[in-house]
Structures are given as structure tokens and as C-alpha cells.
Chain A
Amino acid sequence: MTVLSGRSRLVTLHLASRRVPVAVAVLLTCALVLRIALHRTWDAYGALQLPLFFETGCAVVIAATTASPFGEPERATGRWLPLLRLGTVLALTAIAVGALTALTTGAHLAGGSLGVLRNTVGSTGIGLLCAVAFGGSLAWTGPTAYLVAGVYALYTQWHGPALTTPVLWPARPSSDVKAAVCAGLVFVAGAVLVMVRGSRDSLTRA
């Protein structure tokens, strides 16, 4: 077996251990359902809130893939593991953003592609931080709680006083630099921590 095929085999096995093929299928399904949903005319709330649900759905799926079924034996292996963790997260995030953007092209997507990118990346970051803190299979709690806050923040845009803090980035226009920076920082922090430490696996089995 050549070095290249050995590495590709390692990547394949790592992705399989994290149920990445299933995750990709769920991400594509999310994007497809959003596309179908956008065929309908939504009221002001629905139009803005709808993409956020699917972006968060993608984020929790990505965060769930961080759970390792092997635990400590895997942690005690060589230098590739952090890179595999990071690569998986980045690849899945790219797939999620790409699928959401591509499949909604031509539809009236509130916030546009930039909004999709910011919200997906930010929620994924929260999910990754939760994965490090609570384990991959409980990582959904953070993005879900943030979704509740985000949906409320969007609601306040009509029923004031409007929440304008960049920390609640879903309620900010997609051109808001501060909101984008907040989401980006959370993602970077989550990705780095997952890369270095992996998701917590002592309490749960994936």
C-alpha cells in the first residue's frame, strides 16, 4: 500500500467512525427541505426564521460527528488525529454552507448566502464548544438553545425593542461586520478546541 493510499484509507476510516456519510446525507437533506420550503410564500417572521432552523440543523449534525466511538485508545495514537478532527469539521461545514447556498440559489433566501455562511459557521462553533464541554452526542444543546434566542431576537425586529447586539448574530443584517466577527470567532475557538482536545467522551457513548 502506498503512503497516499494509506492516508486516504485513514481518512476514509476516520470519516466512517464519525458517521460522516450519514451526516452528509442529513446536511444535503436539510438543504433540500429548505429549498422546497422556500417555494412557499412565508410571512415576515417565517421568511427570516426558516433558514436559521436549517442552518442550526446543519450545525448540530456537524457537532454530533465529533463524538468518537473509540475513546482513549484513539487519543493515544499519533499526530494525524487532530488534523483529521479539524479536517472533518471544516469539510462538513463547507458542505453544509455550500449545499444550503447552492440549493437555495434563485429562491428568496432571507439574509442571502452571507447570512447562511455566518449563521451556519457561528452555530457550528457553538456546537463544537459544547462537544468539547459535554460530549459530541450532547453537543446539540448549545446550538439549540442559541436557536431559541436567535428566533426571539429576530422576533424583536418587528416587536421592539429590537435586540441589536452582535452576539445574537442571526438578528443582524448579513452585512454586519461585528456579528460576522463574533460568529467567526466562536467557530475558530470551537474548531481549535475540537482539533486539540476532541469531544468529551468519558460520559457518553456515541
Chain B
Amino acid sequence: MTAAGRLLRLELRNNVMLWLLPVAGPLFWFVTFRPGLAYPPMWNLRATAMQTSSLAVFVPLVVGAAAWSGSREGRHGVTELLAGNARARWARQFGTWAATTCWAIIAYLTCVGVLYAVTAGTAAWGGPLWWPVAVGAASLPAFAALGFTAGALRPSRFTPAVVAIAAFLALEISANFIQGFDSHWQVSPLVANPWSLGADEGIATFYRYLPDLAIAQILFLAGLTAALMGLLGLPAGAGGSWLRRSATALTIVGALCAGTAVALAGTGHLDKNGMIAIPTLHNSAYDRPVPYTPVCSQTPIPVCVHPAYSRYLPAVVDGLAPVLTEVVGLPGAPVRVDQVAAAYEQGSDNDAGIARSGAAISGTPPVFNVLLPTQMAHRLSAEELTGEVRVGMARDLVQNLTGGGRGADDAQEAVTEAMARTSTLPPGSPVAEAARRFTALPAATRHAWLMAHLPALRAGQLTLAELP
């Protein structure tokens, strides 16, 4: 083993971060693992949420431990004893910082590994997202360098405490400054996907996880690490002139990298797939959809969803079932209901428009394309999703068949209301009364009438009085 390896081994055995692992483990469980499992077993949701919440667990502990390690020589009064040795102070400090970082990364990867292993056992489709893990792992050396530098430059009983809290505050508060999808603050490693969108199933499902922002963040963190560690090599006692020149170069290169990353983050925009795209870093290969085999229901009109959404299929089918029974076999009725990707559109500030990509009806025979509600996790129970599908998606399907919707005539509105089983019309109005009458018809009668009159109804050729 080399001298550097032996030094690292010694430091690893005696590093305070090792003591903090029993604190980090339960905190990770409480703040990241438990809430992560509350999300549906979809890699995109769990991975992006993990990136944000796990840093909240590790950053304050790593910064405090590193500051504690950095101030060790001063606290224990060995500065003079160590100063008379051949190996440069910078090399010595590097070993201590590396040990803190190693333990932090080992702990982080272990925690994330457990979360990913559990997710792998339950996820319906896809594989682990590694970019969020990489950003998290790159954050630890940077924050360890921050704490270590503070501890080494200002050894005091207050330093680890104050620096740990201050770094945590800076990390958490950075998210408050994100205004728009071109915010420089997106370089904060907390940000895994567009900050204002939050956990969204639609991101990184139909398309690959776009790593543009993650690359900028890793560049920033690597630069920060280099600049901070370089700072330690600048004082006269850090080492020889060659080493100090190297430290100066490292500091400058690190600062440039960090600055470049911040600038790159400021050129980001919301791409149509819901991720932050940075033109300079963008690889168009990520714009191609990921092939998949949909999961379909055994209903008169099959309802097909992306396999990642398979757990939502029963609720969607429940919501659509009454309408599907009603429209099956009618002229122009879809032969299949397909889930399609969402199209994201950048609005002002933090706003984003989310709509169905493409037309509602496509192909011959016709296929009805639907967009499932976005950000369902933590927002909708299965029953609520069924209800939302019934009033939204099912009605949309009927409207496409009857010609209802905006600009519809009274007859179209009444039939749409009756078929969709919704109640959006003013009670007691002639249209509502016609809808009630139509609903009250036997299903066979209703179906026969629609078979005969649906093309005329869709063309706006029927009046309210002509409804049965």
C-alpha cells in the first residue's frame, strides 16, 4: 500500500463522520426513504425526490464533520508537532478531507442503494436514474471541502456548529431564489427537475432523463470542490512553491468551472418533455422517445397506458368504463384509448403549461389519445383519480364523438351530458331536461338512436326537440 493509501486508511479509522453514520441512517429513513416509498414505485418520482431530500440529510452532517476534522490540528494542539514533518500540510489535510468524504459517500450510496433496491422490487417499468445519484454524490465532496476549509482556516469550538447550520440554510434557501426555468440558482444540487413542477410522473417516462442540468450541477460542485481545496494550498506553510502553484491553478480552474456551471444553468429552458434543457450541453439523442410496450385493459374498447403507469390503469378504466360501454360500436367511436406523453410549455416565471402532445383522435381506425392527470403522486387517491378521469377524460372522449365542447349546440350538449354522466348544465334548463330524458332511456334504445343519428348530431344538424 502506498503512503497516501496508508494515511487515508488511518484517517478513515479515526474520522468523526464514521460516528455520525448512526445519525445519518435514521434521518435518511425519516426524511428520504419513508416519504420516497410513499410515492408510486416509479423511478423518476423516487429518484428525483431522493436527490432533493437526501442532500438535506447529508449536507449539514458532512459540513459539520468536515469542519470538525479540519479544525482537528488546532483543537488538539498538534499544529507545531505536525509542522516539523516532511510531508506537505496540504497533503496531510487532503487525507483528512478525503476520509470524511469517503465515509459520507459510502453512507450516501448505501442509503440510496437500499431505496433503489426496494424500488427495483416494485417498479413496474424502467430502471434506476443515475444522474440524481451522481449529483448527490458530487455534492458531498464539495460540502465536505466547504466545511473542512472553514474548520482549517478558523479552528474554533463554534466553527463546525455554525458552518453546518449555515451551509444547510444556504442549500435550502437557494431553492427560494429560483424564478423561471433560466434561473442561475438551478445549479443548486437540490434541483432534480424543474423546481416549480415538483414530483411529476410525466417527466423522464416517455423520454429519457435529460442530464443537462445534472451535468451543470456536477461541473459546479467539482469546481467548488477544487476551488475550496485549492484555497488550503495557498498559504505559505501549505507546501513548496510547486505545490502552491498547483493549488493556485486548482483554485482558479475550480472557480472558473463553478462560474461556468452557474452561467450554463442560467441558459436553461423548459423543454417539451418537462426537463431543463441547456443548449450548450444538450444531446439531441435524449429527445427521442423511449420505446415501450403499453399495458392494456380487457375492456370493450381497450385502455392502454405506459407500463410505468400500470398501477393507475384500474382507476383509469373505472373512470372510463361507463362511457366505453356507451360508445362501443358507434360510428366514429375509437377502437382504443391510448395514453400519450405530456407536452410542457414554458410560461412566464415559474409557470409551465402542460397539455396533451398531439391530437385527441388520431389514426384510422381512430384511437383516442389521453393525457393522464399530472402530479398525481400524493395528490390523488385511486377513487379521486377515477373521479377526475370521469369528469375530464371520459367527457372529453364523448365530446369528440358528439361534437360537444366549446361552441356545441344544445342537442350536442344534452347528449354529451347524458353519455358522460356528468352534471354541468344549469338544473331545470331545457338542455338539462333533455339530457335527463336521454339518460332515462333504456341503454339499447339509446344505443340504437345514437347508431342512427350520431353523424347528424356531430354535424350539428339536430335540434333539442329532435332528441328522444
Q: What is the interface of chain A, defined by CB distance below 8 A to chain B?
A: 19, 22-23, 26, 42-43, 45-46, 49-50, 53, 56-57, 60-61, 63-65, 67, 136-141, 144-145, 147-149, 151-152, 159-160, 204-206
With contacts A43-B176, A64-B157 taken as known, whether A147 is within 8 angstroms of B165 at the C-beta atoms is yes
* Closest B residue, CB atoms, query A137: B157
Q: Quick check: is B76 within 8 A (CB to CB) of the other chain?
A: yes
Given contacts A137-B160, A147-B60, 10 further A-B contacts (CB under 8 A): A50-B169, A53-B169, A64-B161, A138-B68, A140-B165, A141-B23, A149-B27, A149-B31, A204-B75, A205-B77
Of the candidates B31, B64, B77, B162, the one whose C-beta lies within 8 Å of that of A26 is B162
Expressed in whole angstroms, the minimum distance between the Cβ of B372 and any Cβ of chain A is 20
Cα–Cα distance between A137 and B75 once the two chains are bound (Å): 10
Q: Which residues of B contact A63 (CB under 8 A)?
A: 161
List 24 A–B pairs whose Cβ atoms lie within 8 Å, in order of A's numbering: A22-B156, A23-B158, A46-B173, A46-B176, A53-B168, A56-B165, A57-B166, A60-B161, A60-B165, A63-B161, A67-B157, A139-B161, A140-B164, A141-B23, A144-B164, A144-B168, A147-B165, A147-B168, A148-B60, A152-B31, A152-B53, A159-B378, A205-B77, A206-B157
A64 touches B168 (CB 8 A): no
Expressed in whole angstroms, the minimum distance between the Cβ of B457 and any Cβ of chain A is 44
Cα–Cα distance between A29 and B115 once the two chains are bound (Å): 40
Q: Quick check: is B56 within 8 A (CB to CB) of the other chain?
A: yes
A22 touches B158 (CB 8 A): yes
B20 touches A141 (CB 8 A): yes
Q: Which residues of B contact A206 (CB under 8 A)?
A: 75, 157
Q: Quick check: is B192 within 8 A (CB to CB) of the other chain?
A: no
Map CB proximity to A onto B400-427 as digits: 1 under 8 Å, 0 otherwise. 0000000000000000000000000000
Q: Is the interface of B mostly helix, strand, loop or mixed?
A: helix
Q: Quick check: is B292 within 8 A (CB to CB) of the other chain?
A: no
Q: Quick check: is B172 within 8 A (CB to CB) of the other chain?
A: yes
Cα–Cα distance between A43 and B350 once the two chains are bound (Å): 13
Nearest 10 A/B pairs, CB to CB: A140-B161, A60-B161, A53-B169, A46-B176, A57-B165, A152-B31, A64-B157, A144-B60, A137-B157, A206-B157
Map CB proximity to A onto B51-83 as digits: 1 under 8 Å, 0 otherwise. 001001100110010001000000111000000
Cα–Cα distance between A50 and B16 once the two chains are bound (Å): 28
